[in-house]
Amino acid sequence: MEMNRRNFLEMVGLAGGSAAVYQMMNVMGLAAPSTTYAQPSLTGGGQGKKVLILGAGLAGMVSAYELQKAGYEIEILEYNPKAGGRVWTLRGGDKYTELGGQTQTCAFDKGLYINPGPWRIPHNHQAYQHYAREFGVKLEVFPMTNYRALIHRKSGVRERIGPVSVDMQGHISELLAKAVNQNALDQSLTPEDKGKLLEALKGWGFLDKNYAYTKSLATSLYRGYDRDPGARLEPGTPSTPLTLSAILKNDLWTDLSTPLLYEFHSTIFEPVGGIDAMAKAFEARTGRFIKYRSRVTNIKQDTTGVTATYEDLASGTTKTARGDYCICTIPLSILSQIPSTGLDSKLTEAIKKVPYAPSFKAGLQYKRRFWEQDEAIYGGITYTDQSMGLMSYPANNYNSTGKGVVLGAYMFGPDAVKFTGMTPADRLKEVLRQNTVIHPQAAKEFENGISVGWHRVPWTLGCYGLYSEKTREEYYPTLCALHDRFILAGEHTSYWNAWQEGALLAGTSAVEIIHKAAQGNA
């Protein structure tokens, strides 16, 4: 087989997985750059038109914010008593009633919180960064990867992420070096390429002069020491690498590639004080347009506009709102249950074809920050094969002698469905039990917690739009299109599913499409 860059990267991937591929892509200069964000330019003004917006999440509010600057009249109908939608933070004193009627009251101490929905802002989410700068939303670093955090297995394996990463890289490099030295690649690489590849593998894989990955001070410089170096003549005690067999047997490699996902490349951020900071910033600028506690019950489009019938939940009365155009940001899981007339039949069919991902989160308050004090884990994520999925440690107030809130569980799929079906008390009991398997201190230090199963969240009934390759191809273009005077917006009309970036980009693109249509009908 003739060796080209694609073939070579495929070979590296088969041997070392996505982590190895990305490392090699970096060496070869093939990693993709991030994109920039272009703010909508709505020349020509609003032409006296009104836009009705359904939903005051980020997609709805960014649409309102940009349209009002161009002179459009705006009206927003929002189900909840506050804006933000899934961009939501739970703090001490907050109450949350899920579908089924069970109410939880958050008992966290002042200053502590959990983000049930989105919780991170990747470096390449340029729309979010744009509005953060414009509104003065303060961000702090979220350590997506902390090599002192853990990979845990139910079998009892409990290893730091850093040493496992180094060991996997070392063993794969040793295997590739052996293949090169045994002339297995002679037909694929020139002698010059062979020499350069061996040199690269030696450095990348921490190999010795014989191209072996072994226990040594040089290796410990990367994976850590059994005893750290001290002063003067104290070089430290080398640590013993895990064998490749141990890494493979316990599937430790499966958690190594997550930080290499494009969205997670450093630097990752979170808003200071809670993920709802951006929602609050938009609400401060668009709140005058919002009619809160308005549950849309019917949507009707005709040749001149769109009318929404809604129940005013405060008074119990039925009202209507009308616009020349409508941007609908209601999640498809809810929208599919709202009767409509005058909408394209292809659109109404497509709305019903996209399921929403099951997801579950639980936040647990502990009396002290034992992960820092006992184990020197400052932020980052621990991964486990228990159903809880992961633990994320707070990325602020480091070395505080006070309490701390950990994201004690974050899961998708069948496990999320199972936990969502449990009572809130039973959920916390099981999450705490699994936390204690990883950190024995947890049981003694636990104080209180709160959980959110997203299929029981009344205003969304799921976490985010879950596309397959087939539904993307068959229904996604219809969901993204303008249908006379009606257009959808939200993370479900973007390729940034589940991200705030997707909602922002979907909203601003809907604004541009509506504006173009309005200019044509002026």
Which CATH number does the domain housing residue 383 bear? 3.90.660.10
Reply yes or no on whether the pLDDT at 22 is more than 70.
Answer: no
Reply yes or no on whether the pLDDT at 405 is more than 90.
Answer: yes
Whether 173 is covered by a domain: the verdict is yes
- β-strand pairing of 50-54 with 325-328: parallel
Q: Which range has the worst mean pLDDT, 22-36, 195-209, 224-238, 242-256?
A: 22-36
Query: What's the mean pLDDT in 38-43?
Result: 83
Higher pLDDT, 114 or 239: 114
For the chain, give the mean pLDDT. Answer: 88
Q: 239-273 b/e with 16+ CB inside 10 Å = b?
A: bebbebeebeebebbebbbbbbeeebbeebbbbeb
Reply yes or no on whether the pLDDT at 396 is more than 80.
Answer: yes
Whether 290 is covered by a domain: the verdict is yes
The total domain count for the chain is: 3
Q: Which range has the worst mean pLDDT, 32-36, 375-379, 434-438?
A: 32-36
10 Å Cβ neighbour count for 158?
14
Reply yes or no on whether the pLDDT at 418 is more than 60.
Answer: yes
Residues 48-87: pLDDT tens digits? 899 999 999 999 999 999 999 999 999 999 999 999 999 9
Pairwise CA distance, residues 409 & 358, whole Å: 14
Reply yes or no on whether the pLDDT at 23 is more than 70.
Answer: no
Confidence tier at 154 by pLDDT (50, 70, 90): very high
Pairwise CA distance, residues 409 & 390, whole Å: 6
Query: What's the mean pLDDT in 257-284?
Result: 85
Reply yes or no on whether the pLDDT at 162 is more than 90.
Answer: no
pLDDT of residue 355: 95
Number of helical (H) and strand (E) elements in the chain, helices listed first: 17, 24
Pairwise CA distance, residues 230 & 224, whole Å: 14
Instruction: Give the DSSP letter string of 152-189.
Output: E-TTS-EEEHHHHHHHHHHHHHHHHHHHHHTTTTTTTS
Among 430, 456, 482, identify where a domain stops.
456
Residue 27 sits in the same domain as residue 168: yes
Residues 175-213: pLDDT tens digits? 778 777 777 656 666 777 677 777 877 877 888 888 888
pLDDT of residue 178: 78
Token code pair at residue 117? 């929905």
Residue 186 sits in the same domain as residue 128: no
Let me know: does 70 contact 516? Beta carbons within 8 Å: no
pLDDT of residue 19: 45
pLDDT of residue 1: 44
Interacting residues of 401 by C-beta distance below 8 A, sequence separation 6+: 368
Residues 473-517: pLDDT tens digits? 999 999 999 999 999 999 999 988 888 999 999 999 999 999 999
SS3 267: coil
Residue 346 sits in the same domain as residue 494: yes
- β-strand pairing of 113-114 with 158-160: unpaired
Q: Per this entry, what is the length of the chain?
A: 522
Reply yes or no on whether the pLDDT at 376 is more than 90.
Answer: yes
CATH of the domain at 167: 1.20.1440.240
Residue 103 sits in the same domain as residue 235: no
Domain residues for 62?
A: 50-85+277-353+468-520
Residue 364 sits in the same domain as residue 445: yes
pLDDT of residue 12: 59
